Amino acid sequence: MESWKAKLIIVGVDGSDASVDAASVAASLARSAGARLHIVTVVKPPEGWWGIIESPPTASALGNALEEAQRKVLDLTTSRVDLDGIEYETVEEIGDPGRALAGYCEQHEADLLVIGRHGAGLFDRLTIGSVTHRLLHDAPCPVMVVP
Ligand SMILES: Nc1ncnc2c1ncn2[C@@H]1O[C@H](COP(=O)(O)OP(=O)(O)OP(=O)(O)O)[C@@H](O)[C@H]1O
Ligand SMILES: [Mg+2]
């Protein structure tokens, strides 16, 4: 990794306070580095619905509900984080969150992934979240974990 420079920063958000904090850190970094920022939320459809989701999501009520939930997470994040002067995009992905975020970083050649230590999950405060755990193993780029 020669002369690393943050040109594209990815932050994963799930609507939790921890992920809003992660997005705030990512935004500050993006601003000072002059980097682009992608704010990504991944929704995992309930088992058995893959066939329906893979067809146009608008074709199913469940797809609409999931999309709406993602929109809410993104709106909440952009309303709570100072994004002034940052070139940013909001992105909705479908799948396993850890896998999808790792894949997204790889596809877009991200320079840095920012995530919270915990997320919206209610249990297991003593360990790091399972999405974070997975990304610490699988991410193709440097990862910053925000407590
Ligand atoms: N669906 C998601 N889309 C995008 N980013 C996510 C998603 N879920 C989690 N993250 C990112 O990962 C961080 C840690 O969340 P994680 O899900 O690992 O913890 P948790 O919800 O507390 O635990 P668990 O989900 O294992 O019960 C979040 O702060 C967020 O940055
Ligand atoms: Mg979680």
DSSP string, 40-108: EEEE-PPTT-HHHHHS-GGGSHHHHHHHHHHHHHHHHHHHHS--TT--EEEEEEES-HHHHHHHHHHHT
Atom of ligand 1 nearest to the CA of 44: 1
Alpha carbon nearest to ligand 1 atom 15, residue? 119
Q: What does the pLDDT read at residue 47?
A: 65
Walk along the chain (147 residues) and give the pLDDT tens digit of each residue.
Answer: 678 999 999 999 999 999 999 999 999 999 999 999 999 999 987 766 555 555 554 456 777 888 899 999 999 999 999 999 999 999 999 899 999 999 999 999 999 999 999 999 877 677 899 999 999 999 999 999 999
- Please list, in sequence order, all residues whose beta carbon lies within 8 angstroms of the beta carbon of residue 93, skipping any fewer than 6 positions away: 40, 41, 42, 43, 100, 101, 104
What's phi and psi for 72, nearest 5 deg?
A: -60, -45
Rounded Cα gap, residues 138 and 44, in angstroms: 18
Cross-strand partners of 38: 10, 89
Q: Which CATH superfamily is domain 8-146 in?
A: HUPs (3.40.50.620)
Cα distances from 93 to residues 5, 24, 98, 121, in angstroms, run: 26, 21, 11, 19
Q: Is 90 in the pocket of ligand 1 (CB under 6 A)?
A: no
Whats the size of the chain, residue-wise? Answer: 147
Rounded Cα gap, residues 94 and 85, in angstroms: 29
Per the listing, tokens 């682009």 go with: 36
Q: Write down the domain spans for the chain.
A: 8-146
Q: What does the pLDDT read at residue 63?
A: 77
- For a ligand 1 pocket test, name from 16, 25, 42, 131 the mutation site with the most ligand atoms within 8 angstroms of its C-beta: 131
Q: What does the pLDDT read at residue 44?
A: 84
CA of 126 to the centre of ligand 2 (A): 14
Rounded Cα gap, residues 115 and 54, in angstroms: 27
